[in-house]
Chains A and B, each alone.
Chain A
């Protein structure tokens, strides 16, 4: 009762358990989406396949398998827009390239405004997207209702709906599929994925990376990418003494029991701080809350599942008649300006960082992997990644992805 081997070794998607070699051209810490994508593109675009991905648990254990799976390109600033635009265009391309269905469901995203101020913020986002050739438009409450018939657009809710921002090119992607597809692609190009392997140290000599120590043995290498997601800041500090401006918070999400089609688009609301979308399986996925203090627990809270039910049924009252069946948490590495840190070769040559993604790690994984691979291959930062420098914090140049002060840092 075995399927015939049709690909790869014994038909396994991402190969066998390769032996840990004593040296690799590059070592990627973290078998999540960013690490796997970078590995894949190192091999595909730069001919570097002597690369190891080191994963403590199993691939996709962390944020990669716990995120909202929402993709979109309507960011706020022009430093971010081109990156996310390209990211959005990559889903179908990679589906073909990896010969693995990433299940990009292009349903479009509707973001609700519950005040004049929110409408103004959306106008900036919509117009900026349009300037960059990204489809996005403002819609009035009636149009919101047409898009999502379940919305309550009356005056009854605590925060009535003033309008919305509709972004047709967005949607959702099956996050596990991306993990497995990238792993498959990388493994086929000869990259070694070491699951169940823990990095225990990083060797530096003369301000240069020389090795990575793991619980399975030492690896000599001159390039290391820290793509450890929620653990990247802890790892950077513990192993290299390099501190990062990051707070690691648990973000929670949940799903209801599956229903026949009810929501045809992703819908989200800033005032209620939540999103809802219907997965291809029919579940309503909703979430977004984080308790505003650092922790590494991945645990869900009693308070939040209740709060979420209160919030989401305010603007989607029919959902009172469905049941939550599962809540989970994942780690989000938040920066002071809600933009990631992509940096390398400073202060240690060969040390690269790709972290601080907060809410945005999933949508951006393919494009970041692509350019991070270029960065690691060339040693110079591609222009599109330059705005995400670690140095922006000491230069007093926070990015404008969020206009409001963030609520998880003590500094507000």
Chain B
């Protein structure tokens, strides 16, 4: 179709052509077109088919409040054609169409079957007889949903995120929003201005009506936008949809990137000192039969189509409106060449008589007190029936466009989400904010203002209020501005009419869910009498556009029927995101943060198979052999090196440090001797094992302690928590990252160590459980002799910066003694052979240290310490009926290793295998299990039920632990 001649309000650029593919059809458009305007310019009227009844759907609001114009674009489903820029070469498909083009849909017969699908249809049918339900599900699933997403779909583009701190955040770049931004910025504040459309201007932007003598509104919009652009402390985000509003002025939004931007979309999180909501209004849909037939559209849609994109909505239009904007649009569109059949106005009076006179001047019939009750035409509109409100008179007119709107609806989502409350205002017919969250202000049209000066002044006022929130002394300005506001026109009286005299069978209150007025009536009849329940029962307002279309009509309609026990209309809940957002956009750059030990790079280089263990990356093993046999055998036979840097390491010091240790460790920590390590455990109040580690006394009131890798992040928090009431004098320093740890274990360990240090490390000078500090080539080392894997072993705590040097030195020196790296897998099996538990693997949340055989660590005679867990340890010491940890071997030799996690059974489940592995040292499978206490006697048979065994059990017997070197000779020698 031919576009209009150049208008000053155009957003398209003649001469810059592009083309998009709509199915088989090639559509020519211009730079600046949205997908919707490009298609419309090519005479596309049916953009898709509706969810349930496959009714044809087309342009309606031009702001994308409903699924009518959601299309598949380059494989991405549900793209909003109305606000997505057309890009040359785009492939566009209509959705929910069974057939080649949306003009012919093989499922259109569904529309004829709507009588068979009353509200709650699925709930009340399809389960009788019961065998039809599973079949019905298949068909329901196929019919449901709009877009198609391939499981292999790969989202292209760059998704960025930005966290902004500002003084004032203004939502909405219309006249009120721009004025608010300017007045706050004028006070020297930093302002962020968010606008959903690609340009500022909002309500003024496309309208030729006079703002003041000789200045049309669109020009005024451009002047304001220019001022905003020239104000350096206003940061404007266009193409940016506000999506969330939270307590304490946290605003979230996302921005669609332009060609020149480095991002496709960008997630924004804005923390503001004060927020101004100037989101304006959307139009409240007028409800009548076939009110969503292509050709029926809202005022703004028809008007902006012409003014921004040069497209007249059709040839001959009938208007049925309830707001002066409708009269204004009819006049302007008539002047632009549209044939206007008539303008019906819901209002009997209270319209602008100047506008009515202008209509008359153009010979356009004006019908106050009339309303559209039916659109005709099977695919697109070809006629409309109008009726007087009181249903006494009717008139049918032929037309291809029906411009229909019941009135305005304020966009209050940003106010409601953080806790604002709405009440119904009888004058405007709006749900207006009655309570507004602190440091938030509203301005502009959402208050019901229509006068341009009143709108701007309310913006200036809100900007000053925001400035006051930010501590600016603006009392006098505020007073002045409020005075100004009082002289200007207040909120306009709005229409309350939702629907004319219609039956409602084909009157759609929610387009997305194909929900009619009749369905709403059916729901109320079944007892769903409050809007929130009606919404759930009929699905109205739960589709892709959420409450955009039914939002305020539903509660107003329900209130009108008088069926609801609640006479005050209440809108249904609004939930974030206020505009649907790609998961890609929310996910943003998706940072992954994890920690690396000082040995990371060299471990990787040496072939370490790295794994994420909590926050850390650790080497599981150094070969592809999952059993890690070579690493294990080398530790038992020669000597191995393990990077244990992830171990938690802390200094705790101060005059009350010992008291704190007594509180959290179950043992008597006053017995920590100089030059010795003390091993102990921490329990929670239930007596369950939380952590274990060693404590070393470095000096008077000065200790060094370790925590397990997984626990290190909470150790300080834990100790401080359990001493929070005491006011004790102690301090803690987390040295986890400051020190690395090398575990050198194996019969040759001493030989290696002797070669690198001058210190006496003989068994006499540095015995088992000893602690020593010495130098390795001038590098200080804290060394401990621990059980670890059950061999002679040294745990060397080394400043992180020296780790690589000492490690390399040990590797070179140890070469002749067969030194090899080993990883976590080998460590776990080696430690298991010694009966050591891994918290969470051999223990559950409910496992006490008694259950684990570690009860000997508990020192009961320190009640004054109020040891954490002591009471429960006393209570459970001899308690029967608990799960206990035991060691087991297979009953018959040659039996394979049972799978971890397998239950132990007799007539019921009696426990389960925690960990079982083949022991290369013992040449047979060994395992640990948590079992009912009556089964923990040595020699007791355990029957193992593996998943999928179909009752064929494996047999094991309880044995004592440790499995390897029970006397501990190896580690003490």
Contacts and interface: CB of A to CB of B under 8 A. Distances in A.
Interface of A: 1-3, 10-15, 17, 58, 60, 65, 77-78, 92, 95-96, 99-106, 116-117, 119-124, 126-128, 130-131, 136-138, 149-150, 158-159, 174, 176-177, 180-181, 196, 256-262, 278, 280-283, 299-302, 305-306, 308-310, 312-314, 317-328, 337, 396-400, 402-406, 410-412
Contacts of A13: 526-528
Contact of B901 (A127, A280, A410): A127
Interface in B70-121: 70, 75-78, 118
A324 B133 contact: no
B504 A1 contact: yes
B118 A3 contact: yes
B582 interface: yes
Given A103-B123, A105-B137, 10 more contacts: A10-B525, A58-B532, A120-B900, A258-B51, A259-B146, A261-B145, A306-B588, A327-B575, A397-B881, A400-B846
B684 interface: yes
Interface residues of B, number: 111
Given A305-B577, A323-B583, A404-B840, A176 B267 contact: no
28 contacts: A3-B525, A12-B526, A14-B527, A103-B122, A103-B133, A116-B900, A127-B901, A136-B947, A150-B152, A180-B123, A257-B544, A257-B580, A258-B144, A259-B77, A259-B148, A280-B140, A306-B267, A313-B590, A318-B153, A319-B149, A321-B582, A325-B546, A327-B576, A328-B575, A396-B687, A398-B846, A400-B844, A411-B685
B945 A131 contact: yes
Nearest to B875: A396
B590 A318 contact: no
Interface string B570-595: 00010111001111111110101000
B903 A127 contact: yes
B848 interface: yes
Given A123-B901, A259-B148, A301-B246, A177 B532 contact: no
Interface string B497-535: 000000111000000000000100110011110101100
Contacts, number: 295
Contacts of B140: 280
B899 interface: yes
Interface string B255-277: 00000000000010100000000
A280 to B, nearest CB: 5
A304 B124 CA distance: 36
B234 to A, nearest CB: 23
Nearest to B912: A124
Given A78-B908, A158-B612, A321-B76, A122 B901 contact: yes
A10 B155 CA distance: 52
B863 interface: no
A328 B879 CA distance: 45
A65 B127 contact: no
Interface in B575-625: 575-577, 580-588, 590, 592, 612
* Listed residue (B526, B688, B876, B905) with the most chain A CB atoms within 10 angstroms of its CB: B526
A323 B123 contact: no
B15 interface: no
Contacts of B244: 302, 305
A281 B144 contact: yes
A325 B577 contact: yes
A116 B840 CA distance: 13
Contacts of B527: 11-15
Nearest to B844: A403
Contacts of B145: 258-261, 281-283
B583 A261 contact: no
Contacts of B875: 396
A302 B947 contact: no
B544 A130 contact: no
Contact of B521 (A1, A106, A150, A282): A1
B488 interface: no
B146 A320 contact: no
Nearest to A116: B900
A400 B78 CA distance: 44
B946 A127 contact: yes
B717 to A, nearest CB: 10
* Listed residue (A124, A176, A314, A404) with the most chain B CB atoms within 10 angstroms of its CB: A124
A101 B122 contact: yes
Contacts of B533: 58
Nearest to B141: A261
A308 B590 CA distance: 11
Contacts of B246: 299, 301-302
A88 to B, nearest CB: 15
Interface string B372-407: 000000000000000000000000000000000000
Contact of B845 (A121, A325, A403): A403
B77 A321 contact: yes
Nearest to A257: B544
Contacts of B152: 149-150, 318
B154 A412 contact: no
Given A126-B947, A319-B583, A410 B721 contact: yes
A158 B592 contact: yes
A281 B581 CA distance: 19
A400 B888 CA distance: 22
Interface string B671-710: 0000000000000111110100000000000000000000
B269 A302 contact: yes
Given A105-B137, A326-B546, A411-B684, A396 B583 contact: no
A11 B124 CA distance: 12
Contacts of A12: 525-527
Nearest to A263: B151
Contact of A96 (B77, B130, B146): B130
A72 B579 CA distance: 33
A7 B504 CA distance: 24
A318 B151 contact: yes
B881 to A, nearest CB: 8
B805 interface: no
